[in-house]
């Protein structure tokens, strides 16, 4: 069994590989932005108050609200 966490639980500098996206109203938009299963994603930085986080995914920097990134499940074994 794969150990997983939600993307919003990763801290700055950590990486993971996307395992799945929970069913939500943003699922299609997240996929369009590059958050697809098997893709490596890294946490770059957060805003003041840490309500949003910037992620590096597929060569782009994408900012998501913490509640949006909580819909993305990452595989724990890929943490760096």
13 in a domain, yes or no?
yes
Is the model's pLDDT at 8 over the cut of 90? Answer: yes
Whole-number pLDDT of residue 77: 56
> Domain total for the chain?
1
Write out the residue range of the structural domain in which residue 34 sits.
Answer: 4-60+69-75
80 in a domain, yes or no?
no
b (16+ CB within 10 A) / e for 26-53? beeebeeeebeeeeebbbeeeeeeeebb
What is the CATH classification number for the domain harbouring 16?
2.30.30.90
Mean pLDDT of 61-76: 95
45 in a domain, yes or no?
yes
Per residue in 19-64, pLDDT tens? 999 999 999 999 999 999 999 999 999 998 889 999 999 999 999 9
Q: Residue 1's pLDDT band (boundaries 50, 70, 90)?
A: low
Q: Kindly list the distances between the CA atom of residue 16 and the CA atoms of 25, 48, 61, in Å, as whole numbers in the listed order.
A: 23, 23, 15
Whole-number pLDDT of residue 50: 82
Whole-number pLDDT of residue 25: 94
Q: Residue 78's pLDDT band (boundaries 50, 70, 90)?
A: very low
DSSP-H helix ranges across the chain: 27-32, 66-69
Q: How far apart are CA 34 and CA 78, in angstroms?
A: 18
43 in a domain, yes or no?
yes
């Amino acid at each position: 069994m794969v150990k997983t966490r939600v993307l919003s639980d990763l801290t700055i500098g950590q990486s993971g590989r996307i395992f799945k996206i929970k069913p939500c109203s943003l699922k299609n938009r997240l996929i369009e932005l590059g958050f697809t299963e098997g893709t490596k994603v890294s946490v770059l930085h957060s805003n003041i108050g840490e309500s949003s986080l910037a992620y590096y995914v597929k060569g782009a920097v994408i900012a998501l609200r913490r509640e949006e990134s909580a819909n993305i499940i990452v595989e724990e074994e890929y943490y760096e």
